Amino acid sequence: NRNFIDWADVPRNTGYGDISDLLVPSSWDDETQQMTTAALMEVAGEAGLGRFQEIVSGGQYDHPTGIFHGGSGPVWSNRWMQEHLAEIVGGAQRLGVVDLHTGLGPWSHGELISHHAKDDPGYQRGTDWWGEVRSMHDGESVSAALSGDWLGALDGLLPDVEVTSAALEFGTVDPFSVLQSLRADAWLHAYGDPTGDEAAEIRAQVRASFADDAPAWLEALIERFSAVAGEAVQALSRSAD
């Protein structure tokens, strides 16, 4: 999900290389986890949490076994969208997109995140539709600024369509637990055995970081999504009148 970039001018996340071995070490025993986690917290303290989050999750293209690797070229979903999206949209002049995510923010809260800066018309349309959206580029969102965000590519893929989009991000557990699960999963695929004894525990750890089985969490998600989707449909209906 960091794949929608200009592959003739790949972004460089130089800060990631400085901590790549700490994020995904070759060993995942308790001692290594404690040592690398302490070192990462030290880096976060020096860089600031916002900058640390941007380095870790903003997207990187030099470390294929690392987290948030955006690929080495356009992946199948990117190519598929370039080939078929305009056909699917057809003659529509306006398009609304709500992209569902979990893992950031307060438990069960659904934050609407815009890939646009606050002075962009797309951001303004989002606020008109939903009342409040938060820009990932202006430091007001739970998300860092991302490279290769697919929502950010829609204007280029559909140059004749007015696209209003937002990611709807639901909080689960604390950011540290999310990061640890991502690190564990990356280690499993880079150095471990995805079919081995450690795999089931790590997969359970990842699932717990991105989906809560509590009925109250699921009910909050359904209520929030229904409201957001309904507001989008109403906005599109007003535009068509």
* Contact assessment for residue 112 and residue 132, using Cβ atoms and an 8 Å cutoff: yes
Q: Is the predicted pLDDT of residue 240 greater than 80, yes or no?
A: no
Q: Is the pTM of this model over 0.85?
A: yes
Model confidence at 239: pLDDT above 80: no
Q: What are the backbone angles phi and psi of residue 135, rounded to the nearest 5°?
A: -80, 130
> Residue 55: its pLDDT value, please?
96
Asked if residues 110 and 170 have their Cβ atoms less than 8 Å apart, the reply is: yes
29, 101 in Cβ contact below 8 A? no
Task: Give residue-wise pLDDT tens across range 134-192.
Answer: 999 988 899 999 999 999 999 999 999 999 999 999 999 999 999 999 999 999 999 99
pLDDT digits over 102-135, tens only?
A: 999 999 999 999 999 999 999 999 999 999 999 9
Q: Which H helix or E strand runs over 90?
A: none
CB 209 within 8 A of CB 53: no
Note the pLDDT tens digit of each residue in 4-63: 999 999 999 999 999 999 999 999 999 999 999 999 999 999 999 999 999 999 999 999
Distance from C-alpha of 95 to C-alpha of 169, rounded to nearest angstrom: 20
Q: What is the pLDDT of residues 187-238, one digit of tens each?
A: 999 999 999 989 999 999 999 999 999 999 999 999 999 999 999 999 999 8
The pLDDT score that the predictor gives to residue 238 is 87
pLDDT reported for residue 138? 83
Q: What is the per-residue pLDDT for 51?
A: 94
